[in-house]
A = this chain, B = another copy of it.
Amino acid sequence: MAVYTEVSDEALIAFLTEYELGELVAFRGIAEGVENSNFSLRTTKGDFILTLYEKRVKVEELPWFLGLMDHLARAGLSCPLPVAARDGQALRQLAGKACAITTFLPGVWPRRVRVEHCAPLGEALAQLHLAGQGYAPTRHNALGPQSWAPLLDRSLAGADGVQPGLGAELQQSLPGIVAAWPHDLPIGHIHADLFPDNVFFLGDAVSGVIDFFFAATDLLAYDVAICLNAWCFETDGSFNITKGRALLAGYQRLRPMSDAELAALPVLCQGAALRFALTRLYDWVNTPQGALVTRKDPMDYVRRLRFHLHATGAADYGG
Contacts of A202 in B (CB 8 A): 24-25
Contact size class for A?
Answer: 35 or more
20 contacts between A and B (CB under 8 A): A2-B31, A6-B111, A7-B111, A9-B108, A9-B110, A9-B201, A10-B112, A24-B202, A25-B106, A25-B107, A26-B106, A26-B200, A27-B108, A28-B30, A28-B32, A29-B31, A31-B31, A42-B106, A290-B290, A292-B294
Apart from A1-B31, A6-B111, A10-B114: 9 A-B pairs, beta carbons within 8 A: A8-B112, A10-B112, A25-B106, A26-B107, A26-B108, A42-B106, A289-B290, A290-B291, A292-B294
Contacts of A111 in B (CB 8 A): 6-9
- How many copies of this chain does one complex carry? 2
| Chain B residue, CB-CB nearest to A291 | B290
The distance in angstroms between the C-alpha atoms of A3 and B32, with both chains bound, is 9
A12 within 8 A of B: yes
A103 within 8 A of B: no
Is the beta-carbon distance between B32 and A1 smaller than 8 angstroms? Answer: no
The distance in angstroms between the C-alpha atoms of A2 and B105, with both chains bound, is 22
Given contacts A1-B31, A31-B30, A201-B9, contact A24 B108 (CB under 8 A): yes
The distance in angstroms between the C-alpha atoms of A201 and B13, with both chains bound, is 12
Contact with B along A94-106 (1 / 0, CB 8 A): 0000000000111
Contacts of A42 in B (CB 8 A): 106
| Chain B residue, CB-CB nearest to A30 | B28
Is the beta-carbon distance between B40 and A28 smaller than 8 angstroms? Answer: yes
| Chain B residue, CB-CB nearest to A38 | B31
The distance in angstroms between the C-alpha atoms of A107 and B27, with both chains bound, is 7
For residues 273 through 302 of chain A, which have their beta carbon under 8 Å from a beta carbon of chain B? 289-292, 294
Contacts of A7 in B (CB 8 A): 111
Given contacts A28-B32, A30-B30, A290-B290, contact A108 B40 (CB under 8 A): no
